[in-house]
Amino acid sequence: MKKVISFILILALGFQCLAKLGLITFYQLNKDYVSKELCENKDKPQMHCEGKCFLKKNLDLADKAEQKSKEIIKQVDFPVFIQPIISENCILSITLSDTYSEAPALYEYIHTDRLFHPPLV
């Protein structure tokens, strides 16, 4: 069942990315049909539209659908912090917060007034 769901999700994401490419391919393969049957400017041959109005309208619709999906994704909120879990069986509770404790110094520093010079040969 998980494989079927993952396959469907992959196809859905792939279709979203390839929607514009599919529209352009359909237009290029069926240019004569689009210019004669689906073009909005059939009665104005001096414009030399050749169905580009149909293509532009469909690409704009695809852009609007993509913008809607981006707005939906932006509305999803993620928690900024994790609440501590306190239970009798729990030995440790993990908490992420904005304040950080000072890290212990795990190094030594010896201050000298002498300048470091490479060895003389």
Is residue 73 in a domain? no
pLDDT at 93 over 70: no
Is residue 2 in a domain? no
Q: Cα angle at 79 between 78 and 80, to 5 degrees?
A: 115
pLDDT at 90 over 60: no
| Tens digit of each residue's pLDDT (9 = 90 or more) over 43-85 | 787 888 888 888 899 889 888 888 887 776 666 666 666 666 6
Is residue 56 in a domain? yes
Structural domain boundaries, residue 31: 23-63
Is residue 103 in a domain? no
Is residue 51 in a domain? yes
Is residue 28 in a domain? yes
Backbone torsion region of residue 110, taken as left when φ is above 0, otherwise alpha when ψ lies between -120 and 50, otherwise beta: beta
Those residues whose C-beta lies under 8 Å from the C-beta of residue 66, and which sit 6 or more positions away, are 16, 19
- Per the structure, how many domains does the chain have? 1
With a pLDDT cut of 90, the percent of the chain lying above it is 0
Is residue 58 in a domain? yes
Which pLDDT score is estimated for 83?
Answer: 62
Is residue 94 in a domain? no
For the chain, where are the alpha helices, taking DSSP H only?
Answer: 2-29, 31-33, 52-74
